[in-house]
Amino acid sequence: MIRVLVVDDDFMVAKVHSGYVERTPGFTVVGAAHTGADALRAVRDLAPDLVLLDIYLPDLDGLAVLRELRADPSTVDTDVVVITAARDVETIRGAMRGGALHYLIKPFSYAALRDQLEHVGALRAKLARLSAREGAGQQDVDDVFGARPRSTSGLPKGLTEQTAELVRQALIGHPDGLSASECAAVTELSRPSARRYLEHFVDIGQAQVRLRYGGTGRPERQYHWRS
């Protein structure tokens, strides 16, 4: 099992992300922290394999936490995936230079986080296999350092360029936003298919989600194209 520490200043968000982790086979949550200082203490005390690290924390920001983890010999081997609402290039660059394995922009779907967790698991398995050998070949190195595999179109497996463009045009044509059901009606796709494409656009930052509240029941996710 890959042991995960969830770091987020929002207690409810941390709980949601912890639930995502627990739903993913091969991963378990060993703790949660809500400040930078608590995160550093928890990494040293719990020795997690992976930290899901928020940037906006009430004391140290996430990049400062990342730098301290990399500077401490006892925590330098802990993997980090940044999870944040920060979209500015300097923060992204700082996360990359600090050695984060990936950067997920909030809000994201369970599927987006699951993909990254599975990527971390696959990477750790590759490195474990290589450690049993005397050395690595160039193909082995390329496999470790290369980008996460996607389809030749650049879309996640199972999505097509033609349908993605159909959903994109539907969002652009409805500036007030569309729910997954409304998008399905406009594009003549099934609701699950429409939702997959909508969540993909959210994951890559081209669309955003707002909650639409009705009279009763749970709020509905409404998708808006970013102009």
153 is a domain residue = no
Whether 91 and 171 map to the same domain: the answer is no
Whether 39 and 118 map to the same domain: the answer is yes
Neighbours of 169 (CB within 10 A): 13
Please state, in angstroms and rounded to a whole number, the distance separating the CA atoms of residues 75 and 71: 8
User: How many independent structural domains does the chain possess?
Assistant: 2
Task: Summarize pLDDT for 169-188 with one digit per residue, the tens.
Answer: 999 999 889 999 999 999 99
At which of 123, 149, 173 does a domain end? Answer: 123
At which of 123, 142, 169 does a domain end? Answer: 123
Whether 29 and 109 map to the same domain: the answer is yes
Whether 100 and 181 map to the same domain: the answer is no
Owning domain of residue 62: 2-123
Whether 192 and 115 map to the same domain: the answer is no
Task: Summarize pLDDT for 1-22 with one digit per residue, the tens.
Answer: 999 999 999 999 999 999 999 9
- CATH code for position 215: 1.10.10.10
179 is a domain residue = yes
pLDDT band per the 50, 70, 90 thresholds, residue 149: very low
Residue 127 pairs with which residues in a beta bridge?
Answer: none
Does the pTM surpass 0.75? The reply is: no
pLDDT of residue 147: 44
67 is a domain residue = yes
Mean pLDDT for the chain overall: 88
15 is a domain residue = yes
Whether 50 and 111 map to the same domain: the answer is yes
The contacts of residue 19 (CB under 8 Å, 6+ apart) are none
Higher per-residue pLDDT: 173 or 143? 173
Whether 80 and 32 map to the same domain: the answer is yes
Handedness of CA 80, 84, 87, 88 (dihedral sign): negative
Are 88 and 119 within 8 A, CB to CB? Answer: no
Per-residue buried b or exposed e for 121-154, using 16+ beta carbons within 10 Å of the residue's own CB: bebeeeeeebeeeeebeeeeeeeeeeeeeeeeee
Please state, in angstroms and rounded to a whole number, the distance separating the CA atoms of residues 89 and 95: 10
Query: What is the average pLDDT across 41-55?
Result: 97
